[in-house]
Amino acid sequence: MATGILSAVSGDAAMLIATDRLGYLEVALTGALEGLRRSV
């Protein structure tokens, strides 16, 4: 089970490295802002 989690995390890391980091940050920030709006 831990192996599956590790491979998933390393897969995510590879995707992040391959992806435009600014685009990823924009998506992450948008998601965080939406979460804050819903919690208020």
Tens-place pLDDT, residues 2-39: 666 666 677 777 776 666 666 777 888 888 889 888 88
Task: Give the pLDDT of residue 28.
Answer: 82
Residue 36: predicted pLDDT: 87
Is pTM beyond 0.75 here? no
Q: Number of folded domains in the chain?
A: 1
Domain that holds residue 7: 2-39
Phi-psi region of 20 (alpha: psi -120 to 50; beta: other; left: phi over 0): beta
pLDDT score for 26: 81
Rounded-to-integer distance, Cα 28 and Cα 40, Å: 19
Instruction: Compute the half-sphere exposure of residue 31: CA atoms within 13 Å on the CB side of its CA.
Output: 6
Amino acid 5: pLDDT: 64
Provide the pLDDT for residue 18.
64
